[in-house]
Amino acid sequence: MVVYVCNTYGQYITKVKSPDKDIILEFNVNQEGQPVYAVLKNKEPIITASRLGFKTEEADFSQNLNIQSTSVNAFQEKWKPVWGQSSEIENSYNSLTVHLANSTGDLIFIEFRVFDDGIGFRYAFPELSNHHTLTIRDELTEFGMSGNHTAWWVPGCWDNDEYVYTQSKISEVDASYFQKGYPYSHATTITNKNAVNTPVTMKTSTGKYISIHEAALIDFPGMSLLVDTMNYTFKSHLAEDEIHPNVKATIQVPFKTPWRTVQIAESAGALITSNLILNLNEPNKLEDVSWIKPTKYMGIWWEMHIGKSAWDLKSGKHGATTGNAKSYIDFCSANSIPALLIEGWNTGWEGCGNANREGIFDFQTPYADFDLNEVVRYGKEKGVEIIGHHETSAAVSTYEKCMDQAYQLYHALGINAVKTGYVGRIPGHRHYDQYMVNHYNKVMVETAGFKIMLDVHEPIKPTGLCRTYPNLMSGEGMRGQEFNAWSDGNKPSHNVTLPFTRNLAGPMDFTPGIFDLKLVKYKNHDTDFSAYDAQDAAAKNVSRVYSTLAHQLGLYVVFYSPLQMVADLPENYKGNPAFQFIKDVGVDWDWTKVLDAEVASHVVIARKEKGKNRWFVGGITGENEHETTVDFGFLPTGKKFKAIIYQDDPLTDYIQTPEKYLIKSAVVTSKTKLGILMKKAGGFAVSIME
């Protein structure tokens, strides 16, 4: 499996192949003693010779390195996630570990794993003779691309991922538009105009797909990437705080870095079904997982975002009242939605606009018009779980002081899920620096101890840690539906880019399911929406959702999350026959198949509900309409099934008549092929239930 070849400098090139032998990783140390790697798929270069290494205060691991030894291994397992896109995951790879020593004898190890769907590698710093701490100055890891690929990227921001995706050539990556003060962003922490956050996904001129990200991000800063637009090369750009200039991280040795990952696929759809990031994480550490349950949930939430009500009591239109909570619970109970999120339940929201927000929340005290005990009791009576809410307002010190008691309160009440939030700047810190990575991970571990599931907004990007802590259910870390409520909105191509970018990293709490797409009821719009990409939609108070209703249904299958919101108001679902699909659709899956996909254009996915004979298909399009042919070959053979199809009406226009749709039923078998037209920003959904 490993071949040693003498190169022209008399040094050894070490190669390791994927189990299917299609991917080859080559490792070498060049004339300057710099570690270098390259990756080929079917002989085509994917990563050109690219540097590896670290600069630390205590030791230099960037050059003059010698290979001490190499070792290889083959690994194969199948494991069952607690929840996921499939109920069984194969983890097969060949690995290569290289031990390197610098000129003063300090050691660094690099471990590569080569899978059929890409590669991962990490660095390990063994114990050093004279120091226990390493101060990381820079990570030199590069990912050289073989050409000027098409890339889908968000800016390299160390505080926020809530940006629309841009499609451009690598040579044209330029975030200066976002740096100038993109609305609702942390423009000031976009550190370089030629930098991107990960996952960043690319398509080569030969039709291959590549996505760069990281796995198992523990006790280390998040990695953005600097883009060399001339040489088509990405370089690690670790987030740093404002307190320790030029220090990326301080680590105690022995230490292993997060994995750097490169997913490689022959089709856009194969990226979606790749489990490489999960496979590079440690197995589940929680013994009892009986309390972890994927679920749909409604929320006292959208009504605040569209301005019908507010989070704070002083506003005079407080949303989280006991009465309102009970009427949502009644609606959830009557419509088999198992859970309800309640935001704005606790005192402190009046201080959210303060520059210093430490101390404004105690995460304990309900507002006077909200009886927490009674709401939880009523929910239990009606079979509806309450999802708690902790908006930290990025006052992380306060949250660290209060969180133990706050989780105890929820635990005592029998609340077993919490949504957290980190809106705003963190004094001295960046959301993605080492301190914050440790904070997010601490919350994940502590909530697990209290048997609380977690949904993190304004999170650190997911890196597959949900394999190890399956209470980490979902998170934001992308520009979600909320932007449609109060900004110039998400353009249609955004939703058809997310499955191939952000959603590759892990579950995504996008919050689908808006039926009142023009938001006319609470925004008092005029109804001329002809210029959807007008930058001043928010200023003119004409925010709205730029998709068809059938697209919103399709999102429940297309976007993967074991917590899936039913985001609109009860009054907008009442009496609408399309609501039936949301009631029916599953949230946990035996398998996932991508039937038709192209990044930023369209995606059609079929999933089988875990442990049930129920199949759901969802499709969405972006700026252009797309006719797809659904091949029902995934159904068991020799049997007839009734399919209910929710699709765009031929007259649906996402600007003027987005709410128009058709419901059809059809008898289908594993031999059926059904043509379905998705209109612009449109979509469809199919349910098949035995």
Amino acid at 335: N
Pick the closer one to ligand NOJ by CB: 142 or 455. Answer: 455
> From residue 570, how far is each of 69, 272, 485, 549, 577 by CA, in Å?
64, 32, 17, 16, 13
- Please state the closest distance from residue 480 (CB atom) to ligand NOJ, in A: 7
Q: Map the footprint of ligand NOJ across residues 373-392, applying CB under 6 A.
A: 391
Residue 391 touches which of ligand NOJ, Ca ion, none (Cβ within 5-8 Å per kind): ligand NOJ
Asked if 366 and 386 count as a contact pair (C-beta separation under 8 A), the reply is no
Pick the closer one to Ca ion by CB: 301 or 684. Answer: 301
Size of site (CB under 6 A) for ligand NOJ: 8
- Please state the closest distance from residue 14 (CB atom) to ligand NOJ, in A: 46
Nearest CA among 205, 103, 83 for reference residue 150: 205
- Please state the closest distance from residue 353 (CB atom) to Ca ion, in A: 16
Q: Which helix (DSSP H) or strand (DSSP E) does residue 426 occupy?
A: none
**What would the two tokens of residue 36 be?**
């270098």
- Give the x/- contact pattern for ligand NOJ in 321-350, rule: CB under 6 A: ----------------------x-------
- Give the x/- contact pattern for ligand NOJ in 416-435, rule: CB under 6 A: -----x-x------------
Adjacent-strand bridge partners of 690: none
What's the half-sphere exposure (Cβ side, CA atoms, 13 Å) at 33?
A: 14
Pick the closer one to ligand NOJ by CB: 477 or 683. Answer: 477
Residue 343 touches which of Ca ion, ligand NOJ, none (Cβ within 5-8 Å per kind): ligand NOJ
Pick the closer one to ligand NOJ by CB: 85 or 561. Answer: 561
Residue 117 touches which of ligand NOJ, Ca ion, none (Cβ within 5-8 Å per kind): none
Q: Map the footprint of ligand NOJ across residues 293-312, applying CB under 6 A.
A: 301
Q: Map the footprint of Ca ion across residues 444-463, applying CB under 5 A.
A: 457
Asked if 91 and 79 count as a contact pair (C-beta separation under 8 A), the reply is yes
Residue 421 touches which of ligand NOJ, Ca ion, none (Cβ within 5-8 Å per kind): ligand NOJ
- Please state the closest distance from residue 303 (CB atom) to ligand NOJ, in A: 11
Pick the closer one to Ca ion by CB: 455 or 476. Answer: 476
Q: Map the footprint of Ca ion across residues 244-263, applying CB under 5 A.
A: none
- Please state the closest distance from residue 488 (CB atom) to Ca ion, in A: 16
- Please state the closest distance from residue 683 (CB atom) to Ca ion, in A: 23
Among 371, 476, 590, 609, binds ligand NOJ (CB under 6 A): 476
- Please state the closest distance from residue 456 (CB atom) to ligand NOJ, in A: 10
Q: Map the footprint of ligand NOJ across residues 177-236, applying CB under 6 A.
A: none
- Please state the closest distance from residue 197 (CB atom) to ligand NOJ, in A: 17
Q: Is 596 in the site for ligand NOJ (CB under 6 A)?
A: no
482 is catalytic: yes
Residue 598 CA to residue 602 CA, distance in Å, equals 6
The residue assigned the tokens 């000027």 is: 148
Catalytic residue among 214, 482, 609, 659: 482
What's the half-sphere exposure (Cβ side, CA atoms, 13 Å) at 525?
A: 24
Pick the closer one to Ca ion by CB: 198 or 511. Answer: 511
Amino acid at 101: A
Q: Map the footprint of Ca ion across residues 476-495, applying CB under 5 A.
A: 476
> From residue 67, how far is each of 19, 99, 247 by CA, in Å?
25, 6, 28
- Please state the closest distance from residue 391 (CB atom) to ligand NOJ, in A: 4
Please provide residue 447's backbone torsions phi and psi, each rounded to the nearest 5 degrees.
Answer: -65, -35
Pick the closer one to ligand NOJ by CB: 48 or 346. Answer: 346
The residue assigned the tokens 């007008």 is: 534
Angle ∠(571,538,647) on CA atoms, nearest 5: 45
Ranges assigned E (strand) in 44-141: 44-51, 54-56, 60-61, 66-79, 89-101, 107-115, 118-125, 133-139
Positive or negative torsion for Cα 505, 62, 5, 40: positive
Residue 433 CA to residue 446 CA, distance in Å, equals 20
Pick the closer one to ligand NOJ by CB: 391 or 648. Answer: 391
Residue 682 CA to residue 479 CA, distance in Å, equals 19
Cα pseudo-dihedral 320, 325, 331, 336, rounded to 10: 100
Choose the binding region for Ca ion from 4-12, 142-150, 468-476, 573-581 (rule: CB under 5 A).
468-476
Q: Which helix (DSSP H) or strand (DSSP E) does residue 596 occupy?
A: strand 589-598
Asked if 114 and 18 count as a contact pair (C-beta separation under 8 A), the reply is yes
Pick the closer one to ligand NOJ by CB: 439 or 607. Answer: 439
Collect all residues with Cβ–Cβ distance below 8 Å to 455 and sequence separation of at least 6: 387, 417, 418, 419, 420, 473, 474, 475, 509, 563
- Positions annotated as catalytic residues are 482
Interaction site with ligand NOJ (CB under 6 A): 301, 343, 391, 421, 423, 457, 476, 482
Interaction site with Ca ion (CB under 5 A): 457, 476
